[in-house]
Structure 1
Amino acid sequence: MNKVITNFMTGQRFLFAIITYIIAFSTLSAQTPLLQNISGRKTTLLDGLWQSQVDVYGVASQERSGLVKDRKPVKYQFNGENLRNTELVEQDLDVAEQLKVPGDWNTQRENLFYYEGNMWYRKKITLNPQAGKRYFLHFGAVNYEAVVYVNGTKLGQHEGGFTAFQFEVTSLLKAGENKILVNANNIRGENKIPTNITDWWNYGGITRSVNLVEVSETFISDYFIQLEKGKIADIKGWVKLEGSQKSQNVTIEIPEIGLKQTVKPDTSGFAALSFNVKKLQLWSPENPKLYLVKLTSATDTITDKIGFRTIETRGTDILLNGKPIFLKGASIHEEAPFRTGRAYSEGDARTLLTWAKELGSNYVRLAHYPHNETMTRMADEMGLLVWSEIPVYWAVKFEKPDVYVKAETQLLENISRDKNRASIIIWSMANETPETEDRLKFLKKLIDKTKSVDDTRLTAAALFSKASKGLQTIEDPLGEYVDVMGCNEYIGWYTLPAELAPTIQWTSKYNKPLIMSEFGGESVAGLHGKADEIWTEEYQNRIYENQVKMFDNISFLRGTSAWVLMDFRSPLRLLPRKQDFFNRKGLVSDTGIKKMAFYTLKRWYQTK
C-alpha cells in the first residue's frame, strides 16, 4: 500500500510540474507557447538582405509637431513606406542601405560599430497563403527589444536579446507582396536583463534567423520528451496541441527501437505520456546517440532528433546516467571566429565546438546568455554537455519586481526552446552577482520556477569564494539552493601570484559538487617573452600551469570551464595594442591561433 501511495504522489507531482509549465508559458511576452523545433516544420526562410534605416532619436513612431509655430507638422508615424507626393515623410526604406539578417549591424558597417539605438528593418516577400493553414512569424533573437509590424499592423513587441519569440500573422498575410517591418533597439538600461554594464559587445540587430512558419489549423505546438529524473529506462513527458480540434489523438514513435504510443489530449490539447524502454542507448559524450522521434496527429506530423540521458547529483558527485563524471571544458561567448561579430551560423558553431573538442572537452559553458539553437543542437550531435544560462549578470536591480519578470521570462523562453536537448544538463541562474537579501530572494525564486517546469536538469550559478590566509571558502547563501556550485576565480591574474595557487586550500559550507566556472588570464596571441611578463602567452600559461595543480587538491571539484575558449570583443577592454576592445583571455585568438595555455589545459584534461 505504501508503494502505491508513493507512486501516486510521484505521478501527482509530475502532473503538477507539467501543469505549472503550461501555465508559466501562457504569460510570456509576444505570443506563447513558443513553437517547438522550428527546423522540423515547413518554413519560409526570411534571411538575407533587409532594407534598414538608423533612427538615432527613436522618432519614427512619434509625430514631430509644434516645434516651430505655424509650420506644418512632419509626419513620423512610420510603416516602412514613403507616401510620395501626398504626405511629407522623412524616411524612405525603398532607397535605404541594406543589412544582412541574421547579423549584427555593428560589424556590417564601419559607421555603426559603436552604435547603440534604434534601427528599422524591412523585408518585402511574395506569398500565396493557403486556406486552412496558420502562419507564425518567428524570430530567433533580436537584440535587445523588437517591435514588429506586418502590412502596416503592429503585432507587438518582445524584450530580451537572446531568446526566440513569435507572432501569429495568419489574418494579416495576403496573396502577393507582404511587408515585414521591425524596429530593433539595443539601448542599454539599468532595469534590463542584462543591465547597462557587461563585459561583452552589445551587438544590435536581428541577430538570428527569421522564419515564416506554416502549420495546420490544429497543430502540435509543443512537446517535452526526456528520461524521468534518475531513471534510465522510463521516458516521461507531454505533448500539446493548438487549434480547434484539440481532442484528436497523437502518436509518439521512436522507430529504431520499435516504440509507438498513442495518447488522447484533454480539452486544452494537453496529453501526458510515459513509456518504459528496454533497449535504449543512453546519450553521453562518448556516445552521443540521437533517436528520430516522430509525433503524428490527424492534422500534423513533426520529427525531432532527441537523445536520452539522466543527470543528477549525489553529495559532491555529478552523475551522468548514474555514473560519476568530471566536466572538462571551457566557457564560450557567442562571438564569431575569424570575422568577429555575433555568431549565428552552423559554421560558427562547428568551429567553436570543434576547438572545444580539440581541447579535450566533454562540456562547455555557454556564457552569459542563451546561445543560438544551432549551437545547442550541434552540442547534441558532437557529444558536449552544456551549461546554459540567462544574462542575470553583475549589478541587476534585484529589488525591482518588473526586473524579476524580465529575468523569469528569458529563463522560461530559454527552457522552452531547449528542453529536449540532451546536451543541456544545467540551467544557470546568474553570474557574479552581489550577496544581498534581494538578490537571494530573486535567484531562489528563479530556481523554484526552473524546478517547477523542468526537474530533469541541474541548477547552478557562478559565485565567488571568500579568501582568508591561504584558504578559499564557498559560503554564498545561494549555495544552499543550487544543485551545483559554480565559482569564478582569477588567481594569478586579478588576485594573488600564480605560484600561490597550488598552496591554497578550498572548503565549502555545502556538501555539493563544485565547477570552477571561470579561471584564467589574458595574453596576446603570438606575443612571447618571459613568464613574468604580462600579456605574453608565457604569462597566461604560467597561470594555467599553477591552476591545474590547485585543481588536483580540491576534493569536491567536479568540473572546470576555463575563461574563455576564444578572445571576444568587449567595451571594457581599452588597452591599446594589447586589448583594443577585446577580452584576451581566450585559449584561442579571434583569428584561430591556439595559445600555449590551450595545450597546457589539454594535457591536464587528458589525465582526468
Structure 2
Amino acid sequence: MKLRLVFSLMILLFTEIISAQQATRLNSNWQFLKQDIGGIWEAVRPVKAGNPEDVPLWTNVSLPHCVNATDAVDPDVNYYQGPAWYRTQLTIQNPYTNGRTLLHFEGAGQKTDVYVYDKKVASHIGGYDEFTIDITDAVEAFKKIDTFQNQFKGKIPVSIRTDNSRDLELIPSDLSDFNLYGGIYRYLNLVYVPAVSIDKVFAFAETDKMGKTGKVNIRTRFYNPAKQTTTAVTVKLFDPKGKLVHEFTKNVTIANDGVVIGDINVTKPMLWSTDQPQLYSIEVTAGEYKQTEKIGFRHFEFVEKGPFMLNGKRLLLRGTHRHEDHAGVGGAMTEEQMRTEMIMMKEMGVNFIRLGHYQQSRIILNLCDSLGIVVWEEIPWCRGGLGGNVYKEQARRMLTNMIEQHYNHASVIIWGLGNENDWPGDFPEFDKEKIRTFMKELNDLSHKLDPSRKTAIRRCDFCKDIVDVYSPSIWAGWYRGIYTEYKQVSEEEMKKVKHFLHVEWGGDSHAGRHSENPDNGLRNIKTGGGADERAGDASLIGGAARASKDGDWSESYICNLIDWHLKEQETMPWLTGTAQWPFKDFSTPVRPDNPVPYMNQKGVVERDFTKKESYYVFQSYWTAQPMVHIYGHSWPVRWGNEGEEKMIKVYSNCDEAELFVNGKSMGIKKRNSQDFPAAGLRWNVVLNKGNIDVKVIAKKGKIIVEDAIRFRYQTEKWSKPAKLLIEKVKEENGIITLEAKLLDDKNVQCLDATNWIRFGLTGDGELIDNQGTSSGSNYVQMYNGRAVISLKTNNGKSAVSAKVVGMPTVFINL
C-alpha cells in the first residue's frame, strides 16, 4: 500500500507539470452511430426532438470510446469491422489573435475522416500514432453560413468517421493475434495555438557511462501557417526538484525542416534509472506559446553476447508486455485505468516493457518515464507478409511518427520494426528477400531519425542480422518442448546474434482453474526439438503433443512454468533480460475456442485487473518490499484421499517462512531461489476431509508479513457429471453473484470438470457479461466444475438460466 501511494504521488506531480499546455479534452457531449451514413448531411442536419423521421438513431457516448467495447469478446458474433460516426457541437473561443484551432487525436482506429459541418477537413490512416487536424479555416467558413449559424446557436458541428474495416494494405494485418479496434479510443483534445507555435520539441539528453557529465541538444519544429520568418526562443532547464539549471534566449530563423536551438551542458546530472527515475523539465517558449517536455539523463549499452548495462551497471531487464485492452471498454482505457495497470506492473517488480504491437498512448510513455520502466516500442508491421507501396508508405510514416512523438522519453531504448514478419498469409507472394530489403530500409530510417536508440524485431530469423537486437521465438513448456529446456535453448539462440533479448514467453491459464497434478498432460511431449512457436501451434486441435493443446490450462501449471523460468534467469549472467507475454489477458479474433472465447489468456492478471496466482510468483522474485502469498486463493476446493500428503506452496521474497495448518505449525523453511518449486517454501501436509485453514508468517529482516486462506478438502470420488446446480453466493450494491456447479449422480462435485456452460437472463436485471474474464462471460469453460457470473438487479426481478449440454437447464429466480 505504501508503494502504491508513493507511485501515485509521483504520477500526480508529473501530471500536474505536463498539464500546463493549453488543451481541453473533449470527453463529453458526443453522439455515436455504429454504421455508415448515406452522406455527411445525415450527421449535421439539425435534429428536432421527438421527430420519428430522424433516422438513423444515434446514442450518447463519452470519449474515449471504442466501437468494439463488448463485441470483441461476444462468443456468438464476429466483432464489428466497419465505419462508425461520432458527432458533437463545439464552442470555439480561440484567445489568440489570428490563432489556430486544432483537434489533436491521441489515437483513433483505424482510418479517420474529420468534418466541420459538411466540409471534409482531413483524413488520417493508422490506428496508433497521434495526429492533429487544423479546423481554423473550416470553422471560419461555417460561421459565414447565416442560414445554419442560428440553428446551431453559435456552436460548430463536428463529425468524425472512423473505420476499422478489413484492408490488406493496412497494417497491422487482420491475421494478428489481437483486435484492430475502431473508434476514438484515445483522448481527443481541442487545442488553441497562436499564429506561430511549436509543433515539436526534440530534446536529446545524453551522458557518459558513469554519469559525470550531461548534455541536452534542443531542436524545434514550428507550426507556421502564417509564414513568419523569425522568432525569439527562450529555453529553460529545471532539475528533478524544480530548480532552474540553465536559461538562454536566442533569435532563430524558422525553417520548414526544423531549427537547431542549441546545447545545454550539465555537470553531474541526476541520472534516470529504474530505481530512481529522475526527470528534468525543459521549457521552450516562442512568442505566446510555451511547451514543456520531460527528459532524463541515462546511458545504456547492450554488451555483445552479454548483459544489458544502465549507467555503467548491469540491469537484468525484468519485463512484460501490454496491449491497449480492458474489460467493458475494449481499447478505450481511461487515464485512471492506465495508471492502475502500470502501477500494478511496477508493484510486480517490472522494470522493462515491450509495448505490443503498436505505438501506444502518450500516457503510458509518461508513466514509464515516471515509474522507471524501460521501453521497447514498435510499429504495427505484424504478420501477413509485405504489401505494396501504400502498405510500405504507411509503415514508414508510422515509424517516423512513433520516433518523433516519443523521442524525448527517457524510458525508451528500443524502436521495434516488426513482429512475426515471417508469418505469411495476406498476399499471394511471400518473398523473404523483399521483406529483408524493406526491413533494412526501416532500420536505416530509424537510425537516421534517432541514432541513440537500438532497433529490434521479434521472430523473423531471416532478418535477425539486420537489426541491433533480436528476439527469437522461445516458448519452452507451452507451444514446444518442456519448460526445463528454457535455459539451454536460450543460450543456443543467444550465440546466434550479437544482442539477444528474449521477449514473449509464458502460457495460457484459465483463471480459477487449479490442478493437483498439473504436469500430467505433458508426458507425451517431445523434447530436444527446440522451443519455438510454429504455424498451427495456437490451435487446440491437431499436431504434435504440446502443453498449449494437451495441458490443463490451470493456474497451477503456469505458476510452475514461470517459477522455473525465473529461477533460471538468476543463473544466466549473460542474459540481457526477458519479457513475459503479456501482463493482462486481452481479446483476439483468432482464438474463438479458448476457455474464455476470443481471449488470449496468457496474462498474469485478468482483463479486469483481477490478479491470477502467477502475479505473486513474479513478485516473489522481482520485488524488494516484503511479500508473502499462499498459492490457491481462488481454489476453494482441493481433493484427494483421506490422510494424503498434499503440497502447500508459498511465494515470498522473505528469508524464511513458517506455515500453520489448522493452527499447528508445519515448521520453518528458508528461501532458496534455486530450490524448485516455490524457492523451497513448500510443505507436504497430511490433509483430512473438511475445512482447512492455512496461515503463513514470513520474515525479512525485522519485517513480518502474513497471509491466510481457507479451502475445503474433498475426499469423495466423483463419476461423470450428471446435474447442474446454481445458487446465489453474494449480493452487494445491487450486484448479485451466482455460482454454478457440476455434480455427479450422487451429488458429489466434479472437481475436474471442464464442460462449457451458457448463462442466460430474462427480467429486469442485466448480466455482466462480454467482459472477457472467467467470471464475466455468458459462455465459458468451467474451472474445477464451477463457473461464476454476476448481474445487475436494476431493483427488479429476474430469472437466470444455466445450461450445460447433455443436462437439464436449471433456473434461479432473483
TM range (shorter): 0.7 to 0.9
| 2:136 corresponding residue in structure 1 | 170
Provide Cα deviations, 1:206-257, integer angstroms capped at 9, x if missing partner.
1111112111111122111122475751211312233333411211111425
> How far apart are residue 409 of structure 1 and its match?
1.0
Q: How many residues align?
A: 537
2:591 pairs with 1:601: no
Q: For 2:29 and 2:472, how far apart are their aligned partners in 1?
A: 42
> How far apart are residue 555 of structure 1 and its match?
5.6
Query: Which amino acid is the alignment partner of residue 454 of structure 1?
Result: D
> How far apart are residue 339 of structure 1 and its match?
3.8
> How far apart are residue 549 of structure 1 and its match?
4.9
| Contact 1:229–1:312 (Cα < 8 Å) also in 2 | no
| 1:234 corresponding residue in structure 2 | 215
2:151 pairs with 1:150: no
Task: From 127, 130, 154, give the equivalent of 1:161.
Answer: 127
Provide Cα deviations, 1:537-585, integer angstroms capped at 9, x if missing partner.
1111222233335545656420111011111111222226x23211110
SS in 2 for 1:330: strand
Task: From 472, 475, 479, give the equivalent of 1:494.
Answer: 479
| 1:539 corresponding residue in structure 2 | 557
Task: From 498, 521, 546, give the equivalent of 2:507.
Answer: 521
Structure with the greater alpha carbon radius of gyration: 2
Q: For 1:398-437, what aligned pairs fall within 5 Å after superposition?
A: 398=387, 400-434=388-422, 436-437=432-433
Q: Structure 2 vs 1, CA of residues 446 and 319 (structure 1 numbering), >3 Å: closer, same or farther? A: same
| Contact 1:163–1:413 (Cα < 8 Å) also in 2 | yes
> How far apart are residue 38 of structure 1 and its match?
8.7
2:565 pairs with 1:580: no
Q: Structure 2 vs 1, CA of residues 351 and 384 (structure 1 numbering), >3 Å: closer, same or farther? A: same
| Contact 2:174–2:180 (Cα < 8 Å) also in 1 | no
Q: For 1:84 and 1:41, how far apart are their aligned partners in 2?
A: 35
| 2:172 corresponding residue in structure 1 | 194
Q: Structure 2 vs 1, CA of residues 276 and 128 (structure 1 numbering), >3 Å: closer, same or farther? A: closer
TM-score, normalised via structure 2 length: 0.62
Q: For 1:582 and 1:521, how far apart are their aligned partners in 2?
A: 13
Q: 5+ unaligned residues in a row in structure 2: which ranges? A: 1-16, 144-153, 424-431, 520-550, 624-672, 675-814
Q: For 1:239 and 1:386, how far apart are their aligned partners in 2?
A: 24
SS in 2 for 1:237: strand
SS in 2 for 1:121: strand
Q: For 1:361-372, what aligned pairs fall within 5 Å after superposition?
A: 361-372=350-361
Q: Structure 2 vs 1, CA of residues 263 and 453 (structure 1 numbering), >3 Å: closer, same or farther? A: farther
Q: For 1:354 and 1:140, how far apart are their aligned partners in 2?
A: 22
2:589 pairs with 1:571: yes
Q: For 2:507 and 2:178, how far apart are their aligned partners in 1?
A: 16
Task: From 21, 35, 41, give the equivalent of 1:78.
Answer: 41
> How far apart are residue 492 of structure 1 and its match?
0.8
| 1:355 corresponding residue in structure 2 | 344
| Contact 1:193–1:396 (Cα < 8 Å) also in 2 | no
Q: For 2:560 and 2:133, how far apart are their aligned partners in 1?
A: 52
Q: 5+ unaligned residues in a row in structure 1: which ranges? A: 1-36, 61-75, 465-475
SS in 1 for 2:137: coil
> How far apart are residue 113 of structure 1 and its match?
7.8
| Contact 2:302–2:576 (Cα < 8 Å) also in 1 | no
> How far apart are residue 39 of structure 1 and its match?
4.7
| Contact 1:141–1:207 (Cα < 8 Å) also in 2 | yes
| Contact 1:344–1:372 (Cα < 8 Å) also in 2 | no
Task: From 252, 256, 277, give the equivalent of 1:265.
Answer: 252
Q: For 2:70 and 2:618, how far apart are their aligned partners in 1?
A: 35
Query: Which amino acid is the alignment partner of residue 500 of structure 1?
Result: E
| 1:21 corresponding residue in structure 2 | none
SS in 1 for 2:370: helix
Query: Which amino acid is the alignment partner of residue 43 of structure 2?
Result: G
> How far apart are residue 318 of structure 1 and its match?
2.7
| Contact 2:273–2:372 (Cα < 8 Å) also in 1 | yes
Q: For 2:78 and 2:114, how far apart are their aligned partners in 1?
A: 24
Task: From 67, 81, 87, give the equivalent of 1:116.
Answer: 81
> How far apart are residue 340 of structure 1 and its match?
5.0
Q: Structure 2 vs 1, CA of residues 48 and 502 (structure 1 numbering), >3 Å: closer, same or farther? A: same
Task: From 315, 324, 348, give the equivalent of 1:325.
Answer: 315
Query: Which amino acid is the alignment partner of residue 605 of structure 2?
Result: V
> How far apart are residue 79 of structure 1 and its match?
5.9
Q: Structure 2 vs 1, CA of residues 340 and 181 (structure 1 numbering), >3 Å: closer, same or farther? A: closer
Q: Structure 2 vs 1, CA of residues 79 and 164 (structure 1 numbering), >3 Å: closer, same or farther? A: farther
2:277 pairs with 1:297: no
| Contact 1:332–1:365 (Cα < 8 Å) also in 2 | yes
Q: For 2:108 and 2:621, how far apart are their aligned partners in 1?
A: 39
Q: Structure 2 vs 1, CA of residues 90 and 312 (structure 1 numbering), >3 Å: closer, same or farther? A: farther
Runs ≥4 in structure 1, deviation > 6 angstroms? 108-113
Task: From 193, 208, 222, give the equivalent of 2:186.
Answer: 208
Task: From 22, 25, 31, give the equivalent of 1:51.
Answer: 31
Query: Which amino acid is the alignment partner of residue 318 of structure 1?
Result: F
Q: For 2:236 and 2:359, how far apart are their aligned partners in 1?
A: 30
SS in 2 for 1:409: helix
| Contact 2:584–2:605 (Cα < 8 Å) also in 1 | yes
Q: Structure 2 vs 1, CA of residues 171 and 343 (structure 1 numbering), >3 Å: closer, same or farther? A: closer
2:300 pairs with 1:311: yes
2:491 pairs with 1:479: no
Query: Which amino acid is the alignment partner of residue 144 of structure 1?
Result: Q
Q: For 2:70 and 2:422, how far apart are their aligned partners in 1?
A: 36
TM-score, normalised via structure 1 length: 0.82
| Contact 1:48–1:102 (Cα < 8 Å) also in 2 | no
| 2:60 corresponding residue in structure 1 | 98
2:576 pairs with 1:558: yes
SS in 1 for 2:252: coil
Q: For 1:125 and 1:489, how far apart are their aligned partners in 2?
A: 51
| Contact 2:350–2:622 (Cα < 8 Å) also in 1 | yes
Q: For 1:48 and 1:486, how far apart are their aligned partners in 2?
A: 43
Q: For 1:281 and 1:84, how far apart are their aligned partners in 2?
A: 58
> How far apart are residue 301 of structure 1 and its match?
1.9
> How far apart are residue 59 of structure 1 and its match?
5.7
Provide Cα deviations, 1:159-194, integer angstroms capped at 9, x if missing partner.
111111111111222572101111110112222110
Indicate the percent of aligned positions where both proteins have the same amino acid.
29
| Contact 2:604–2:612 (Cα < 8 Å) also in 1 | yes
Q: For 1:292 and 1:374, how far apart are their aligned partners in 2?
A: 17
Provide Cα deviations, 1:288-312, integer angstroms capped at 9, x if missing partner.
1122221122332222333222333
Provide Cα deviations, 1:513-538, integer angstroms capped at 9, x if missing partner.
32111001111112111222511111
CA RMSD between the two structures: 2.8
Query: Which amino acid is the alignment partner of residue 231 of structure 2?
Result: Q
| Contact 1:340–1:568 (Cα < 8 Å) also in 2 | no
| Contact 2:100–2:192 (Cα < 8 Å) also in 1 | yes
Q: Structure 2 vs 1, CA of residues 485 and 257 (structure 1 numbering), >3 Å: closer, same or farther? A: farther
| 2:91 corresponding residue in structure 1 | 126
Provide Cα deviations, 1:459-507, integer angstroms capped at 9, x if missing partner.
111126xxxxxxxxxxx34232322222332111110123433554524
Q: For 1:83 and 1:173, how far apart are their aligned partners in 2?
A: 17
Asked which structure has the greater RCO (Cα within 8 Å, sep 6+), the reply is 1
SS in 2 for 1:148: strand
